Amino acid sequence: MSNDPLETASQCRHYAMCKIDYLETGLCPSGPEKHYVAYYPQGRMDIYAALKRNLIPLTEGLIDIADTCTLCRICDKQCHFATGLRPLSVMKALKAEVEALKESGHSIHQPPQDEVLEELRQIVGPACATNDPAILITYANDPFPLKEMQMPRFVVLPASTAEVSFIVKLARRKGVPTVVRGNGGSVYGMVFTDGIVIDTTRMKDIRIDADNWTATVGAGVTSFDLQREASRLGFRVNAAEPAATVCGNIICTGLFSTWSASYGTFSDNFIDMEFVDDEGRVTHLSDPASPNLYAYQHRVMTPPAICTRAIVPLYPISNDEESLLVPFTNFEDAVRLARELNIRRIGLSIAVLGPHYIATFLSPTLELSQRLKQNLGNVFGIEYAVFVIADSYGRDAVKKMAGSVIDGPLLRKLMLGLPRFLGKDWIDLVRTYEGDHPPYEILCDPAAAPFIEAALQPTPVTAAEAVEEDLRQFYTSLYHKPQYTDGVWLSMHRIVSCRMGRHKHIFAFLVYLPADDIEMFNTLNETFGCTAKELGIDHDFGFITPMDMGKRAVYEYDYYLDQTSAKDKRKAAAVMERIVPWLDDLALTRKGFTWIKTFFSQGCVRKEGFFYEGFSKRTKD
Ligand SMILES: Cc1cc2nc3c(=O)[nH]c(=O)nc-3n(C[C@H](O)[C@H](O)[C@H](O)COP(=O)(O)OP(=O)(O)OC[C@H]3O[C@@H](n4cnc5c(N)ncnc54)[C@H](O)[C@@H]3O)c2cc1C
Ligand code: SF4
């Protein structure tokens, strides 16, 4: 990774991981106090890049943003864990840049007085609505390759449903467009407008009703914060990206996860939702008079209204849950096992993973993940794996069905001993194996446990050997905490999934399809793979999770693009030209086939509306 501050700043992925305290480091101190994304490391990265490109003037907001960075280094730890970036150099450079502007006697730009802004401030308070360009610029862009920067006129931070309603009525009266934003983690260029960005970050209320098995969450509550709160009380929620807001995630992608194998997706994710519609009226989905958001429409949609609160289901956790990784030498067998488990209702969370995901999730650095990825197949024979979380009965069943498994304790050893696992001595030793079975079977053999222990020396110190010297102490103490090597905790809180975008920004394609259609899975792999190869794009199979008792599945294939490269942007456009008509055609001609273009923003629908053919027939959008 580069040490150049501008290069680092330009690579900020906007996955918002610096807005959640997922490493127990605490948050960037100014963020929770000032609320605007500009006061989090992500915002400061954008601001520095904008300043260097002369896109913003010196403002009071900019001076405050630079001054309130205490150079505490929290962002360096958080961002390194998630993306491998080291933002501290950017923070230092930003402070120096702003200081230099001040010293050179540069005038301070005063944003214009504005009637709409005055009214917004009356609704939310003077500090929570702004038109300062230094703040606006952090709401103007994301790494999505097919969208240009769009500066909003205002950003406003409502704290309640009533405030959202007043803002919507004001915007309607003044004819100003609005967009609602959770944490901007969709990175599909969806949260931009030249009007008002309604940032829900202050709406962070979480109420757990244990007797009712529900949690009521405000629009600004993230998946991570809800999962942490629920698990403190012995519950689990179905949550996906940790920094995504629960409400935004439900609306936008229907919140699918590997846990959807048992907890479902789309309308399974909520009990009730509260909305403010485009006239500022407050509605609840449980009210028979409210618009029917349960019906799937086969066309491109925008969010139906602003969700201000959601009531989501809580799930019990049994005290003997653990993760298992079942290795496979081929794709088809892995898919068949995943489906079979779902048909038999074995396992809570199920996913078919390829070497890219396995390596990425286990490795604290990009370099180590690339080496692991190469060796998983070549050396150990692990071409695919089924990741399962199950109680002890479920795990016994998986072992009976699958034979060799990497169980939770072994997975922990591999994570902690990874630098040695990939050391020459160990790899050379495994290469000498000449049996009839794939080499991973040696690893999985319980008799090999003492030998693995001795060879890998799996300790937090060993794991931390992989990272830069100045971060080793931090990683050592992190790996001393059992949750950071626990497959169940990591999967529930999903703090490693953003590592997929560690080498380049991820551009994901999501498809729902029949889970027994192995031929179609192969066609998807081949077509996505060949298209990427022809266009010279980094690419990889993502994952498959079976759902609805093995009848349907969600499938992900990922392209990786350098968000700063004009060439990669052109490649992304070329991808869309080829892939979109092909997927559109499949969605019209194959039962149970749908892709993200049409389910996006329809997260409240019943999944059955697009899993199965009903009375309404699909037509071309
Ligand atoms: C690395 C990575 C992995 C991901 N993996 C998954 C995954 O496994 N499963 C999954 O479901 N998603 C996944 N996503 C997608 C992402 O989690 C979702 O897009 C999520 O919605 C982002 O949440 P957000 O709060 O940042 O939403 P934003 O990006 O802020 O908003 C997304 C959309 O929802 C709208 N919106 C936001 N809040 C509200 C609201 N309160 N009311 C109405 N509309 C609203 C916005 O206008 C926008 O159209 C992944 C994303 C990344 C970057
Ligand atoms: S170094 Fe600055 S930007 Fe980074 S977390 Fe600390 S205060 Fe925030």
Q: Quick one: tokens of 238?
A: 């179905």
Q: What is the pLDDT of residues 459-494, one digit of tens each?
A: 999 999 999 999 999 999 999 999 999 999 999 999
Q: What is the pLDDT of residues 35-64, one digit of tens each?
A: 999 999 999 999 999 999 999 999 999 999
Residue 430: closest CA among 369, 378, 380: 380
Residues 269, 283: Cα–Cα separation, whole Å: 18
Confidence at residue 1, expressed as pLDDT on a 0 to 100 scale: 63
> Nearest ligand to the C-alpha of residue 501?
1
User: In this structure, how many other beta carbons lie within 10 angstroms of the beta carbon of residue 120?
Assistant: 29
Q: Would the pLDDT of 31 be above 70?
A: yes
Q: Would the pLDDT of 120 be above 70?
A: yes
Confidence at residue 424, expressed as pLDDT on a 0 to 100 scale: 87
- In short, whether 248's Cβ falls inside 6 Å of ligand 1 is yes
DSSP-derived letter for residue 547 is E
From-to residues of CATH 3.30.465.10 in the chain: 206-316
- Cβ atoms of 138 and 37 within 8 Å: the answer is yes
Residue 106: closest CA among 45, 57, 149, 163: 57
User: Closest Cα to atom 4, ligand 1: which residue?
Assistant: 241
- In short, whether 369's Cβ falls inside 6 Å of ligand 1 is no
- In short, whether 181's Cβ falls inside 6 Å of ligand 1 is yes
Confidence at residue 608, expressed as pLDDT on a 0 to 100 scale: 97
Residues 171, 429: Cα–Cα separation, whole Å: 68
Residue 362: closest CA among 382, 342, 339: 382
- In short, whether 510's Cβ falls inside 6 Å of ligand 1 is no
Task: Please state, rounded to an integer, the average pLDDT across all residues of the chain.
Answer: 96
- Cβ atoms of 512 and 587 within 8 Å: the answer is no
Q: Would the pLDDT of 325 be above 90?
A: yes
pLDDT mean over 330-344: 98
pLDDT band at 541 (very low <50, low <70, confident <90, very high): very high
In this structure, are strands 505-514 and 552-561 parallel, antiparallel, or unpaired? Answer: antiparallel
Residues 408, 406: Cα–Cα separation, whole Å: 7
pTM of the model: 0.96
Q: What is the pLDDT of residues 202-246, one digit of tens each?
A: 999 999 999 999 999 999 999 999 999 999 999 999 999 999 999
Q: Would the pLDDT of 131 be above 90?
A: yes
Distance, C-alpha 620 to centroid of its chain: 30
- In short, whether 185's Cβ falls inside 6 Å of ligand 1 is yes
Atom of ligand 2 nearest to the CA of 74: 5
From-to residues of CATH 3.30.70 in the chain: 504-590
**Cα dihedral: 178, 182, 187, 188 (round 10):** -40
- In short, whether 554's Cβ falls inside 6 Å of ligand 1 is no
Which amino acid does the sequence have at 386?
A: V
Residue with tokens 């392209």: 559
Ligand 2 centroid distance, CA of 88 (Å): 7
- In short, whether 255's Cβ falls inside 6 Å of ligand 1 is yes
> Nearest ligand to the C-alpha of residue 502?
1
Mutate to test the pocket of ligand 2, among 40, 72, 89 (most ligand atoms within 8 A of CB): 72
Helix (H, G, I), strand (E, B) or coil at 571: helix
DSSP-derived letter for residue 245 is B
Ligand 1 centroid distance, CA of 396 (Å): 36
Output the DSSP codes for 124-135: H-GGGEE--HHH
* Domain formed by 504-590, architecture: 2-Layer Sandwich (3.30)
Confidence at residue 160, expressed as pLDDT on a 0 to 100 scale: 98
Distances (CA, A) of 277 to 42, 249, 319: 30, 18, 42
Distances (CA, A) of 593 to 201, 395, 551, 553, 584: 35, 31, 12, 10, 10
Helix (H, G, I), strand (E, B) or coil at 306: strand
Q: What angle do CA 390, 603, 537 make, to 5 degrees?
A: 80
Residues 549, 343: Cα–Cα separation, whole Å: 4
Q: Kindly report the backbone phi and psi dihedral angles of residue 546, in degrees, each rounded to the nearest multiple of 5, phi listed first.
A: -75, 150
User: Closest Cα to atom 11, ligand 1: which residue?
Assistant: 255
Confidence at residue 428, expressed as pLDDT on a 0 to 100 scale: 83
Ramachandran quadrant class, 403 (left: phi over 0; alpha: psi -120 to 50; beta: rest): left
Name residues contacting ligand 2 (CB within 6 A). 28-29, 41, 44, 69-75, 88, 91
Q: What is the pLDDT of residues 401-455, one digit of tens each?
A: 998 999 999 999 999 999 999 988 888 888 887 777 888 998 899 998 998 999 9
Mutate to test the pocket of ligand 2, among 36, 70, 76, 78 (most ligand atoms within 8 A of CB): 70
* Domain formed by 206-316, architecture: 2-Layer Sandwich (3.30)
